Amino acid sequence: ACGVPEGTEIGSQKDRVVTEEEWLRKWEMGNIGFHKEQGHPLLQKYLDVLLNGRSGLKIFFPLCGKAVEMKWLADMGHSVVGVEVSEQALKEFFAEHSLPYREEPVPEISGAKKLRSTSGNISLYCCSIYDLSSSIVGKFDGVWDRGALVAVNPCDRQRYVSLMITLMEKNSSYLLVTVSYDPNKHKGPPFYVPESEIKSLFGNRCEIKCLQKLNDFSEKHRQWGLDYFLEVLYILKFVA
């Protein structure tokens, strides 16, 4: 639908595994080229599609890092929940926005903690996303998935999507950003997720519409050995 080049094969990526320790090390080393200081232009452009005329939504940021959009949406009156394995990332989020917070245990998850803004409208869980469930975090009216599905190990995608579907309210909107490039030239992350796979992962529970593809090619991608790099935005409407 978006005219993205479809590879029937995601190359050697299907067996690629990035460990939790590797992600933690990226944060420790400041190797976080995926973080956008100014927020993401596609969310700003398509915010109305996510909100769909609704106010006071509960919005989920999977693998949130220190995404500035969490503060932005909370300031609009929405309730934001994120999950991230790096405690450093979450503490940097609160520090960079001068937001006071408190740490709370999460009794249902061994070793997890929740960093909650004192205003109460931002709750960030420090744990593996796979430890979450709707009994712990409830269900969501909206999802902003910008660096999550493309960061999940390909072998875990089905597990990830199955979890996300259990966290969605009946009338929720899920904005999903994937990336498109030649997966034989870069091992990821971010991983290449073709449109055909989005349809097979979400298609039986969601209506899927491609909203835009954006040329995001930069010198970094040239150094990776790529000759094109697109961001592809979908809206998924949870129907079942």
> What residues form the annotated binding site?
23-34, 63, 84, 128-129, 146
Q: CB–CB of 232/178 below 8 Å?
A: yes
Question: In this structure, what DSSP letter does residue 22 have?
Answer: H
Q: CB–CB of 151/196 below 8 Å?
A: no
Taking each helix axis from N to C end, the angle separating 195-202 and 157-166, rounded to the nearest 10 degrees, works out to 50
Whole-angstrom distance, CA of residue 125 vs CA of residue 67: 14
How long a stretch of residues is the chain? Answer: 240
Q: CB–CB of 70/119 below 8 Å?
A: no
Whole-angstrom distance, CA of residue 223 vs CA of residue 219: 6
Known binding-site residue numbers for S-adenosyl-L-methionine: 23-34, 63, 84, 128-129, 146
| Nearest 10 degrees: Cα torsion 201, 199, 164, 216 | 110
Looking at the chain, list the stretches that DSSP marks H as alpha helix, in order from N- to C-terminal side: 20-29, 41-51, 69-75, 87-96, 134-137, 157-166, 195-202, 219-223
C-alpha pair distances (Å), 207 with each of 33, 164, 200, 235? 31, 15, 12, 8
Reading the block at residue 6, the tokens are 């479809």
